[in-house]
């Protein structure tokens, strides 16, 4: 059932929102035992909200269950970004997106599992004591990341549901692809980051993940728009995204990114993308090939320099002083901070803090941090030039089918980072992009797994994403 139809039934009383919410929570608990999609299921708060909605079901999202990536602050609910260092941290305020969802009658059901602080592409880099979410199609495989729990739960449940994910370098579209759902990462600044536990502030974006594109559009309308509490949030009117679904796509100009099909991209994925592209042509779209060499060749190192530089400053505040995990007070403040951080941050977090700290040190910052900022400008220019000619750029979201955990373990650090090769470009450029599940392919082991296509649009043109996405899903 589409969210819209469900909400109508809540409003006219055909569905009892409290009973429904209780069922949803039970279902989530059951799934979670098997798949680890939630770090917290907030039963009490969800039922309280359901009772409020029952009294006043006028909101645009009345009764809709919404799960939230753990790095987004929900007042009074553990918000840890999947890290032990924040164990027990209950924010005193709601993130702006949460405030807006709640105001429209949406029901926050829980905090979804993720790579610790968003540092990963498979959701295997979870914090100490946290559990790895398992792929809904094959429990031996990864959900993708870093919004892995959001991707998994979105695929697994049958009730109407939207998840709020967060992307820094591809963390919405990647797990959406691996889990076979839609994931929309909006233009940088389209959705407020107020209340988001930062990874890379110049890259972070919150966006919806769902099974229906109309649901994605609906939630976008609620969460997007100006926020006085967040300086980078854009003061631009919010479009009626819902109206874009089911519009004719004839005349749309689509560029296929050539570098998306290099060595390293699975043949099955290439085949599926090409098939779908032909269908788009049949529907009247003009399809053409485009090269984005700067973005694909330099995107990864640029992203890792900027992302880790920012992250290493953001994570400095976690030192066991006022919130989160504490340790026994001993020695100087330096000894104490070191102890808290050494014991409670995971291995990948430490790696990225060290990388980022190095990249911004005097003597190195010119060669790394500042140079990366310059290349980022070049990448933006490359995309801007492309959008003079095209409405949408397409390529595979990830070059491979969801891998199994044993294979991931064998990857080197750099191979691990390679999973982001196609997604970091639009993330660096702050461009809206979306994963659309376009079908299934068998991998070498004969398991049917979802394939995702990534659509990239120009700044603030989420409309084109919805429009083409809905055509692809028909």
Partner 1 sequence: MTKKFTTDIVIGLEIHAELATDTKLFCGCKTYGDDNPNSRTCEVCLGMPGSKPVLNKKAVDYALRLCLALGCKISPELIFSRKSYFYPDMAKNYQISQYEIPLGIKGKLKLHTGKTVGITRVHMEEDPAALIHPSGMTKSKYVLVDYNRSGDPLAEIVTEPDLESPEEARLFMKQLITILNYLGIFDVNRCIIKADANISIKETNYTRVEIKNITGFKEIERALKYEVERQKQEVKSVVQETRAWDSDVGITRSMRKKEVEEEYGYIIDPDLVKTEVTKGMIEEIKKDMPELAQQKVKKYIKEFNISEEDARVIAAERLLAEMFEKVAEEVDPNLAAKWLRRELVRVLNYNKKEMKDLALDEKYIIELLKMVEDNEITDNVAQKILEKLIEKPFSPRDYVRKIGAKKIADEKQIRRFCEEAIKENPQAVEDYKAGEKKSLQFLIGQVMRKTKGQADPAVVNKIMKELIE
Tell me which residues touch partner 1 (CB under 8 A): 72-73, 79, 81, 86, 89, 91-93, 95, 193-198, 200-202, 228-232, 309-310, 312-313, 316-319, 321-323, 333-334, 337, 357, 360-362, 365, 369, 373
Given a contact cutoff of 8 angstroms between Cβ atoms, the answer to whether 346 and 113 are in contact is no
Q: Which is nearer to partner 1, 14 or 322 (CB)?
A: 322
Q: Token match 């992302």: residue?
A: 307
- 3-state class of 164 per DSSP? strand
Rounded least distance, CB 79 to partner 1, Å:
7
Measured CA to CA in angstroms, residue 133 lies from 55, 136, 210, 257, 386 at distances of: 36, 9, 17, 31, 37
Give dist(CA 449, CA 469) in Å, integer.
20
Active-site option among 67, 147, 167, 171: 171
75 CB-near residues (< 8 Å, 6+ apart) = 90, 91, 92, 93, 94, 98
Active-site option among 54, 60, 67, 69: 69
Q: Write phi, then psi, for 394 (nearest 5 degrees).
A: -130, 155
Rounded least distance, CB 92 to partner 1, Å:
7
State the number of CA atoms in the 13 A half-sphere of 56 facing the CB: 8
Rounded least distance, CB 313 to partner 1, Å:
5
Torsion sign (Cα): 87, 93, 97, 100: positive
- Is 202 assigned a catalytic role? no
Give dist(CA 148, CA 159) in Å, integer.
19
Q: Which is nearer to partner 1, 316 or 414 (CB)?
A: 316
- 3-state class of 278 per DSSP? helix
334 CB-near residues (< 8 Å, 6+ apart) = none
Q: Which is nearer to partner 1, 85 or 217 (CB)?
A: 85
Active-site option among 79, 146, 167, 464: 146
Rounded least distance, CB 336 to partner 1, Å:
9
- Is 464 assigned a catalytic role? no
Rounded least distance, CB 206 to partner 1, Å:
11
- Is 67 assigned a catalytic role? no
Give dist(CA 51, CA 37) in Å, integer.
25
Burial per residue of 371-390, b for 16 or more beta-carbon CB atoms within 10 angstroms, e otherwise: ebeebbeebbebbeebbeeb
Crossing angle for the helix pair 3-11 and 213-223, to the nearest 10 degrees: 70
Q: Which is nearer to partner 1, 67 or 79 (CB)?
A: 79
Q: Which is nearer to partner 1, 36 or 314 (CB)?
A: 314
Q: Which is nearer to partner 1, 316 or 413 (CB)?
A: 316
Q: Write phi, then psi, for 395 (nearest 5 degrees).
A: -170, 175
Q: Which is nearer to partner 1, 74 or 395 (CB)?
A: 74
Rounded least distance, CB 72 to partner 1, Å:
8
| Residues forming the active site | 69, 146, 171
């Amino acid at each position: 059932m589409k969210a819209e139809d469900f909400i109508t039934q809540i409003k006219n009383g055909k569905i009892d929102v409290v009973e429904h919410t209780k069922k949803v929570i039970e279902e989530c608990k059951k799934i979670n035992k098997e798949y680890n999609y939630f770090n917290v299921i907030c039963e009490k708060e969800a039922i309280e909200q359901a009772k409020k909605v029952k009294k006043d079901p006028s909101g645009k999202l009345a009764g809709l269950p919404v799960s939230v990536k753990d790095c987004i602050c929900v007042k009074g609910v553990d918000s840890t970004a999947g890290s032990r260092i924040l164990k027990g941290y209950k924010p005193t305020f709601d993130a702006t997106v949460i405030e807006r969802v709640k105001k429209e009658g949406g029901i926050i059901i829980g905090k979804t599992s993720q790579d610790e602080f968003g540092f990963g592409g498979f959701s295997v880099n979870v914090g100490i004591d946290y559990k790895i979410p398992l792929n809904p199609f094959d429990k031996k495989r990864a959900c993708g990341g870093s919004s892995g729990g959001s991707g998994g739960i979105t695929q697994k449940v049958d009730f109407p549901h939207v998840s709020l994910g967060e992307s820094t370098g591809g963390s919405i579209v990647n797990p959406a692809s691996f889990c076979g759902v839609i994931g929309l990462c909006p233009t940088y600044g389209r959705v407020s980051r107020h209340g988001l536990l930062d990874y890379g502030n110049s890259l972070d974006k919150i966006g919806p993940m769902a099974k229906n594109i109309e649901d994605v559009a609906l939630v976008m309308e609620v969460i997007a728009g100006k926020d006085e509490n967040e300086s980078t949030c854009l003061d631009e009117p919010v479009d009626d995204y819902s109206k874009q679904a089911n519009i004719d796509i004839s005349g749309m100009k689509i560029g296929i990114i050539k570098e998306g099909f290099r060595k390293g991209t699975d043949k099955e994925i290439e085949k599926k993308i090409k098939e779908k592209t032909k269908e788009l042509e049949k529907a009247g779209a003009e399809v053409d090939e485009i090269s984005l060499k700067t973005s694909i060749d330099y995107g990864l190192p640029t992203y890792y320099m900027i992302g880790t530089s920012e992250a290493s400053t953001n994570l400095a505040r976690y030192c066991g002083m006022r919130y989160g995990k504490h340790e026994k007070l001993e020695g100087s403040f330096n000894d104490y901070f070191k102890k808290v951080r050494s014991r409670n941050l995971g291995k990948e977090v430490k790696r990225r803090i060290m990388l980022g700290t190095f990249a911004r040190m005097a003597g190195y910052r010119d060669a790394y941090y500042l140079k990366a900022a310059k290349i980022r400008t070049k990448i933006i220019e490359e995309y801007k030039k492309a959008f003079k000619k095209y409405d949408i750029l397409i390529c595979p979201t990830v070059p491979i089918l969801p891998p199994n955990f044993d294979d991931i373990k064998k990857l080197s650090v750099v191979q691990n980072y390679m999973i982001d090769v196609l997604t970091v470009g639009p993330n660096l450029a702050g461009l809206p992009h979306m994963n659309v599940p376009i079908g299934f392919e068998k991998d070498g082991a004969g398991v049917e797994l979802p394939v995702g296509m990534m659509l990239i649009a120009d700044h603030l043109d989420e409309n084109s994403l919805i429009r083409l996405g809905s055509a692809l899903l028909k």
